[in-house]
Amino acid sequence: MKKKIVILSGAGISAESGISTFRDSNGLWENYRIEEVATPEAWNANPGLVQQFYNQRRKQVLESSPNAAHYFFKELESHYNVIVITQNIDDLHERAGSTTIIHLHGNIRYSKSSGPKQETKYYPVEGWELSMNDRCDDGYPLRPHVVWFGENVPEMDRAIDTLADADYLIVIGTSLNVYPAAGLIHYVSNSCKKLIVDPKASELKVDSDFLIFAKSAVESIPELKKVFFPA
């Protein structure tokens, strides 16, 4: 029986592939206020602007490639049962070959209905551009498959269940500021070995039993290999 590793990944790992982090120091995302592009109210007020914004994010994702940290998680599958829970809306974990991924905040390579049955079917987006004329089966315009502020997180229960029997938890590239995702670290068992990887990891509010790696995701790989592939 393979030991189970659950990886909770955030924007920091994608940033090392050149993807803009969700929110920079002045509270903006690509020079837009969050309220303009990442809420249901924004979609209702100006769906064309929101669609254009996520088209550009999708284009950026398609122009990016997985980095060494993404590939390391795939490598772990040779010896462990690995499940990735990611807060990122890109598909870099998939493209690196990871086989089990839970997207807490959606996957920008997909779209969904803007009508009442949003979570019943997801539609792959060919290329990077989604038009306001693209429709779901019920005739509503398609919107990005992204969880916005003020919306429920459909995969939260699945993520909690996944963490319950984890032998290891690796928190990587997230400052643990976005809830409810940040609260997931509290759902592991007392016997779970916990690691956190972030350049500012020593400043984060985590339990004292976390093994801390104050480095970027890519920079941490040599030390992580010593933990999970001991000589």
Our separate counts of H helices and E strands in the chain read 8, 11
Chain CA centroid to CA 29, Å:
16
The tokens for 230 are: 């001991």
On the CB side of 174, how many CA atoms lie within 13 Å of its CA?
Answer: 24
Helix (H) or strand (E) segment spanning residue 163 = helix 156-164
What DSSP string runs through 86-132? E---S-HHHHHT-S-EEETTEEEEEEEESSS-TTS-EEEPSSS---T
One of 70, 93, 103, 105 is an active-site residue; which one? 105
Q: Give long-range contacts, CB 8 A cutoff, 24+ apart: 21-26.
A: 22/178
Task: Based on the residue annotation, tell me whether 105 is a catalytic residue of this protein.
Answer: yes
Active site residues: 105
